[in-house]
């Protein structure tokens, strides 16, 4: 083991930065052994120097002077633990231009500006590692980028937003309403500062973009595929899904369909006996299918201080021993391949769960079946419960009607839905959730 320490700087002391500082100080001997030399934290850059910290750092390390990091020739590696797009992008580029290798956990930055960041790093002979940007503590970037190198990945199906999975689990298991559970997810620290991107599917979509780029060599903008969050889901649909033998999960999917890339992030019914359906609470799971290895499941904590810090420190060790530099320079990612075309959303084939509130009178079911049938959508099962009484005295009696369809295209389903919307016998809500295949 060398005596000369590897000098690093941390930028950002939020949840992840705190965890990283904790591992590097509490486990200094173990990390030094694995890195081949001691790791010395040279500077910790924060916005508010005076703020109290839950991890003890040697005096004088904490600063708000970013310029000093760029200028310090002794700092080899910087742990870039800054969220958002700006100033995170500018900081990243300045670090690379100052001769630093960079470990980042910022998925939004790589999703939006990854090609620029990686191109610049390559031009400058620098390395960027980003295991912590997707699925927290799960080593999914290494799995796709290295361990599955013999395979063509044909499918990624993933639960990659812990906040949404926590909320759905509580709604399923304790019948708690959405808003209550969201507040708890925020208290527990799973959700981002602004949880909108967690619950509207954006966070999962950004992670899917990074995984797909690695697996399929194709960069798809986050706005190019269907993205629906869990923020409109209602308890009756989760209850019905359970009755049909399913769980509702926020599923991020990217798969190869005859040379085209199918991508979407949507609440989806998953068969209750599948590993993805059994992934509970804030846990993440990524199911990968490779043409040689078959299906693999990677599961664990996808967020939080120590799991995410675990991935950051692993990247740091890889850089210290020179593995990350080799991987980065040879990974055939972010390069301009002939990109795969995106399968149009209307051509995606799935089964569907449908729920309507219908008037309880003759021919209503026949009208619905007729519309579905004319769009070539076959009904697999139907549940209609008996009505108790009219919501408005003297008004029409309505009953919930739940239909599971056989496979059809999204386009046929949308066309049928536009006709169903015009049926006077159907009252809101009209719910449509795809079923995983
Ligand atoms: N807020 C994210 C989640 C964790 O709930 O999964 C960071 O990506």
Nearest to 351 by CA among 278, 233, 295, 270: 270
Strand order across the beta sheet in which 39-45 lies: 62-63, 39-45, 6-11, 77-80, 101-104, 128-129
pLDDT attached to residue 187: 84
Tell me the pTM: 0.95
pLDDT attached to residue 234: 94
CA of 161 to the centre of ligand 1 (A): 5
Pairing of strands 153-159, 283-290: antiparallel
Lining residues, ligand 1, CB within 6 Å = 161-163, 190-192, 198, 203, 302-303
pLDDT attached to residue 192: 75
Nearest-atom number in ligand 1 for the CA of 160 is: 6
pLDDT attached to residue 303: 86
Mutating to test ligand 1, I would choose from 279, 302, 308 the residue with most ligand atoms within 8 A of its C-beta, which is 302
pLDDT attached to residue 391: 62
Nearest to 18 by CA among 42, 50, 63, 52: 52
pLDDT attached to residue 334: 45
> Under a CB-based contact definition with an 8 Å cutoff, are residues 432 and 352 in contact?
yes
pLDDT attached to residue 386: 78
What the chain holds in terms of domains, given with CATH numbers, is: 6-136+307-330 (3.40.50.720), 151-299 (3.30.360.10), 346-435 (3.30.70.260)
Which residues are bridge partners to 262 per DSSP? Answer: 255
CA of 383 to the centre of ligand 1 (A): 36
Q: Which residues are catalytic?
A: 207
Pairing of strands 408-409, 260-271: unpaired
Residue 295 CA to residue 215 CA, distance in Å, equals 14
Give every CB contact of residue 353 below 8 A, 6+ residues apart in sequence.
237, 240, 241, 244, 246, 269, 402, 403, 404, 431, 432, 433, 434, 435
pLDDT attached to residue 96: 98
> Under a CB-based contact definition with an 8 Å cutoff, are residues 280 and 167 in contact?
no
CA of 124 to the centre of ligand 1 (A): 31
Quote the tokens at residue 75: 């700092």
Low-confidence ranges of the chain (pLDDT < 70): 332-337, 388-394
> Under a CB-based contact definition with an 8 Å cutoff, are residues 415 and 373 in contact?
no
Quote the tokens at residue 162: 């812990």
> Under a CB-based contact definition with an 8 Å cutoff, are residues 21 and 57 in contact?
yes
Helix (H, G, I), strand (E, B) or coil at 373: helix
Query: Tens digits of per-residue pLDDT, 274-329?
Result: 999 999 999 999 999 999 999 999 999 998 899 999 999 999 999 999 999 999 98
Nearest C-alpha to atom 4 of ligand 1 is from which residue?
303
pLDDT attached to residue 337: 62
CB half-sphere exposure, 431, CA atoms < 13 A:
25
- 3-state secondary structure labels for all residues of 279-346: CCCCEEEEEEEECCCEEEEEEEECCCHHHHHHHHHHHHHHHHHCHHHHHHHHCCCCCCCCCCCECCHH
pLDDT attached to residue 193: 72
CA of 400 to the centre of ligand 1 (A): 35
Nearest C-alpha to atom 8 of ligand 1 is from which residue?
303
């Amino acid at each position: 083991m060398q005596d000369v320490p590897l000098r690093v700087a941390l930028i950002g002391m939020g949840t992840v930065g705190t965890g990283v500082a904790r591992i590097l100080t509490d486990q200094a001997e173990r990390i030094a052994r694995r890195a081949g030399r001691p790791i010395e934290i040279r500077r910790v850059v924060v916005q508010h120097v005076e703020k109290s910290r839950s991890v003890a750092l040697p005096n004088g390390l904490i600063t708000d002077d970013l310029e000093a990091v760029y200028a310090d020739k002794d700092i080899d590696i910087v742990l870039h633990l800054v969220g958002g797009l700006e100033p995170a992008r500018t900081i990243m580029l300045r670090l690379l231009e100052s001769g630093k290798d960079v470990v980042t956990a910022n998925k939004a930055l790589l999703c939006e500006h990854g090609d620029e960041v990686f191109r610049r790093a390559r031009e400058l002979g620098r390395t960027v590692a980003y295991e912590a940007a997707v699925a927290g503590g799960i080593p999914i970037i290494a799995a796709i980028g290295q361990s599955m190198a013999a395979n063509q990945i044909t499918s990624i199906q993933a639960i990659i937003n812990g906040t949404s999975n926590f909320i759905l689990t509580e709604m399923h298991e304790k019948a708690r309403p959405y808003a209550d559970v969201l507040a708890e997810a925020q208290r527990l620290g799973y959700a981002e500062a602004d949880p909108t991107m967690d619950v509207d599917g954006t966070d999962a979509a950004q992670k899917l973009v990074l995984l797909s780029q690695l697996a399929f060599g194709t960069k798809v903008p986050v706005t190019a595929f269907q993205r629906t969050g869990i923020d409109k889901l209602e308890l009756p649909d989760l209850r019905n899904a359970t009755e049909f033998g399913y769980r509702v999960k926020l599923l991020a999917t990217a798969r190869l369909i005859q040379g085209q890339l199918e991508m979407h992030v949507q609440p989806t019914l998953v068969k209750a006996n599948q590993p993805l359906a059994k992934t509970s609470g804030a846990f993440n799971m990524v199911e990968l299918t490779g043409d040689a290895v078959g299906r693999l499941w990677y599961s664990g904590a996808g967020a939080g201080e120590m799991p995410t810090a675990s991935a950051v420190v692993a990247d740091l060790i890889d850089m210290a021993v020179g593995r990350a530099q080799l991987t980065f320079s040879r990974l055939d990612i972010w390069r301009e391949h002939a990109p795969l075309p995106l399968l149009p959303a209307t051509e995606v084939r799935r089964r569907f769960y449908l729920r309507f509130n219908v008037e309880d009178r003759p021919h209503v079911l026949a009208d619905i079946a007729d519309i579905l049938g004319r769009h070539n959508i076959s009904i697999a099962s139907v549940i209609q419960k008996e009505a108790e009484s009219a919501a408005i005295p003297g008004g029409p009696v309505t009953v919930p009607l739940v239909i599971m369809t056989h496979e059809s295209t999204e386009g046929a389903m949308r066309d049928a839905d536009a006709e169903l919307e015009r049926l006077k016998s159907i009252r809101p809500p009209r719910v449509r959730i795809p079923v995983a295949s």
